[in-house]
Amino acid sequence: MKVILLERIRKLGQMGETVTVKDGFARNFLLPQGKALRANEKNQAHFDNQRAELEARNLELKGEASKVGEKIAGETFIAIRQAGDTGQLYGSVSSRDIADTICENGIQVDRNQILLNRPIKVLGVHEVLVSLHPEVEVNVNINVARTEEEAERQARGEDVTLEVEEDEEEVLSAEDVFEEGAEPTEEDEASEDGEAADASADASDETEEKDA
């Protein structure tokens, strides 16, 4: 389907451009969201008449978005989640979760403004792109941790999963020591008893030879 864009659409085109998109994308997103019009002579004439007004409105929204962008650009937002020892989350952090986390800090954003390729599924500090306006995009950091303390450590650049690996090494080391100093088994005792009997027999033979 051909549509006339009423604003800049990322990876698609600028305001006023006529572009071809998939029917589903046009019907489910562009048209109902008021971001485009079907491309025909009537709508083209309507756009031409409204262009100055649309551009003025766009500049106003861009200015508002820029102010918000200045507040959150490079900022870090903490998301507390449960995770395993390896750092794998029990679930994931989605675009909606990130939007809610930012909103909790007093900045109003919509989940559709969070440009996340795939949900976050591991602990760590993740850089996420936020589109506040078609022409205003900023990066924020989402610090996903199990506790506030872990979030602080991750913010300092520490890897909270290293501690788990070190603990595992200590356990393995302890097991090695236990094996080296382990109590003898029944088989070991039987073997030792056999060796003792053989030694006693050899000593007896030596005594008889001397007496002879």
pLDDT class for 123, splitting at 50, 70, 90?
very high
**Same domain, yes or no, for 46 and 109?**
no
43: domain CATH number is 3.40.5.10
Of the candidates 142, 164, 186, which is a domain's last residue?
164
User: How many residues are present in the chain?
Assistant: 212
**Same domain, yes or no, for 118 and 43?**
no
CA neighbor of 140 nearest in space, from 109, 166, 118, 172: 109
Q: Is the pTM of this model over 0.75?
A: no
Quickly count: other Cβ atoms within 10 Å of residue 145's Cβ: 22
Asked whether residue 201 is assigned to any structural domain, the reply reads: no
**Same domain, yes or no, for 109 and 55?**
no
Which tens digit of pLDDT belongs to each residue from 52-70?
999 999 999 999 999 999 9
Which range marks the domain in which residue 87 is found?
76-164
103: domain CATH number is 3.10.430.100
Unique residue bearing structure tokens 């989402």: 142
Here the tokens at position 167 are: 């603990």
Here the tokens at position 33 are: 């969201």
DSSP letter, residue 62:
H
CA distance 61 to 68: 11
Here the tokens at position 127 are: 């850089």
* Residue 63 zone, left/alpha/beta (φ > 0; ψ -120 to 50; rest): alpha
**Same domain, yes or no, for 53 and 127?**
no
Asked whether residue 169 is assigned to any structural domain, the reply reads: no
Which tens digit of pLDDT belongs to each residue from 159-193?
988 654 444 445 445 455 555 555 555 555 555 55
Vertex 113 angle, CA 33 and 57, to 5°: 55
Which tens digit of pLDDT belongs to each residue from 57-108?
999 999 999 999 999 999 999 999 999 999 999 999 999 999 999 999 999 9
pLDDT value of residue 25: 95
